Chain A
């Protein structure tokens, strides 16, 4: 267990979740719409309803604003009870979202989050009643879902005519602030760009031997599971994910940042070998990798892991650098991970590009790789070495000159060389547009030897030329 992980363990204070009393609630709430009795003239009732209306309007407006950044919040509280407000909220949803789709809850594979979105959608549509019963179902199934408790609290506060927490900025209470940022992050699903038919930019190509990969979009607090489909990597699901308290771009031990890059998931640690803090399991990443170490980056113990039992999820930025997901999500994620070969790309922001699109750079890279292979077979040392950058290093050599010496002695002994590359994986590093991870199975046959190995290279683009800056075993 890494040190970063250990310090993670202190980040959340343990506390017992009080028992909920949801059962009675569900039993008795049918048809008790808060809108019953709107027609009364009783002054007191009107006052109560006005208070309620204003609170609901604020709650709905804040959700609306979060969900649709371009949308305008209602500028004034309607004078008359909830019905008018509901009508105006609904109409606003329709005006900014011409397609019906946007008014619905976003698709999400996880039951808990789906229910959460259903409740939010009900709120946006002005139905406190439906929102509350949905939250109650959610809390019956996931009694430790703090954010759902907060939404429940706000619905009740709206009913009581009190100001809601949602919509208030800059809470001084760190736990409340954490939940509000979690809500904000999750609501990003409502404004998710179209992803179907696209691949995340970092994964250009995945080896046919690999079925799945993972991408993390830091700006969206989202982890995507990708399937290696014939047309290219495509999303099969995504989940809310927590990253480092100080954000991304890990450089130093203890900086509470999550690294940006493409990493290998090294292993799987089962629940019973971990403290409760890590929840349902953990998957260590290979940070710092060869490039990180070369760049002087430090720190270790960057894992994907779950959460303690009494916690459903953590605030979007609250880990020591690990990627933390709910236990429910961790259990879902586990079968998609093949320890030792699954790649994870972590980016500040993931660009989704049409799966079939092949960039000029990509063409250039593929030609460069093929040219390197051919030049290696030609046994012309200069042509071969010309594919390596001046900054080249490997696990055995630290400079291009050393490499040249090594390769000369090897090449001069051969009369014939045949090289085949299979099962190519190409991943563009999110940290640098110009550096690409290339992995392949290399079959090598010469008059003296025959080997097969999985190899890893980093290629860097300098103008139009791609050159190898690192080569080693994968």
Chain B
């Protein structure tokens, strides 16, 4: 479930945001009132969270809470850490307590919703998200998550309508949560905050073992952060790329969340790809390139959704060969027609795993959601092979698995 990816990221973002900028723009959140800039302990908690050292972050947060038991930011960061460690019920309790003391803050509601959803408690998730939106009507993450929760509830209601037994939906939710542990942060589209960079410089551990090829799984709907609430948005942290990969061992316990361990492809996929025979490892931060690859895929899906056939076809390299043996021209004609003739098209990319090879090629496996007035299909698993052309990535092969 896609929903689970963003909110956790958002949890980071919210924490980091307030941490980094509260001294500058502190108008909105109570979180800001804790003035973390003035509290080195909180800075340290934040650093530990970023570093993926969640137990350390919890310990440190506890020392803060020992003297200031109601400190919202300390509790929030502790909640994020507990979430990352898979201590869902503890995390729920702590976010719950924040909402009770600070009902005007949307982020704790949002994260509560993520946790409830991970337990398959979609009604509770919905309630929490609706409260988040009630406090901040323009809170786009909550809107998006709520959309996903509505869709999930709709699908459950539909199953009841048709008396289908789809099994335990909580499992799916948890799988989504685990996937998130391997996710990257969205691209930061603005200048990094110097203060934060400083803290990150120490926080982000250098890749101890450069995994190659770099395998990451990325949330598809990583939407570019947008400007409704500048204080929150403009402070999105630089990509936290390294931690998910390098802290993989430390996230072990989280992966072992009950029920899901070993059952889902989501758990298995990224490591499996990391094990794949590795060409010469690229020494530069591989996941930045992976982000570029993914951006190309999103651009392709976006052009398709906008039914912009030119942009859609431009996503394919000149070396692209249609798999069905059609000539390029026939294929283009057919694609142009298929892309433009429905009255609407919505293509989305989810559960993406990117492999960037050292030789300027990459492979992206993902689930392709396709929605148009003619057809709805959300079960296609697609593999796109891409090649780097100058600074951009283009598709050379397209396969359905």
Contacts and interface: CB of A to CB of B under 8 A. Distances in A.
Interface stretch (B23-31, B58-66, B134-142): B134-142
Nearest to B166: A18
B115 to A, nearest CB: 15
Interface string B124-148: 1011001101100110100110111
B127 A15 contact: no
Interface in A141-184: 146-147, 149-150, 152-157, 159-163, 165, 173, 175-176, 179
Contacts of B130: 28, 32
Interface residues of A, number: 43
A160 to B, nearest CB: 4
B150 A159 contact: yes
A330 to B, nearest CB: 20
Interface residues of B, number: 39
Given A154-B154, A160-B154, A44 B226 contact: yes
B157 interface: yes
B160 A25 contact: no
A149 B134 contact: no
Given A44-B140, A156-B150, A18 B228 contact: no
Given A45-B137, A153-B157, A310 B163 contact: yes
Interface in B372-386: 376
A432 interface: no
A449 interface: no
B330 interface: no
Contact of B162 (A37, A41, A42, A173): A173
B157 A149 contact: yes
Nearest to B130: A32
A78 to B, nearest CB: 17
A453 to B, nearest CB: 51
Contact of A156 (B144, B153, B226): B153
A334 B174 CA distance: 50
A21 to B, nearest CB: 5
Nearest to B372: A163
A16 B155 CA distance: 17
A16 B165 contact: yes
B144 A40 contact: no
A44 B151 contact: no
A20 interface: yes
B163 A17 contact: yes
Nearest to B155: A153
B284 interface: no
Nearest to A36: B134
A25 B147 contact: no
B201 interface: no
A155 B150 CA distance: 9
Given A157-B150, A162-B154, A179 B161 contact: yes
Interface in A11-46: 15-18, 20-21, 24-25, 28-29, 32, 36-37, 39-45
A134 B376 CA distance: 30
B306 to A, nearest CB: 13
A162 B150 CA distance: 10
25 contacts: A15-B163, A18-B160, A20-B160, A28-B127, A29-B127, A32-B130, A32-B134, A37-B137, A41-B138, A42-B137, A42-B229, A48-B143, A48-B147, A152-B154, A152-B157, A153-B156, A153-B158, A153-B161, A156-B151, A156-B154, A156-B157, A159-B154, A160-B150, A160-B154, A163-B371
Lowest 3 A-B CB distances belong to which pairs?
Answer: A37-B137, A42-B138, A156-B154
Given A44-B144, A44-B228, A156-B157, 20 more contacts: A15-B163, A28-B123, A36-B134, A37-B137, A40-B138, A44-B143, A147-B161, A152-B157, A153-B155, A153-B157, A157-B150, A159-B154, A160-B148, A160-B150, A163-B371, A163-B376, A173-B162, A175-B163, A176-B162, A310-B163
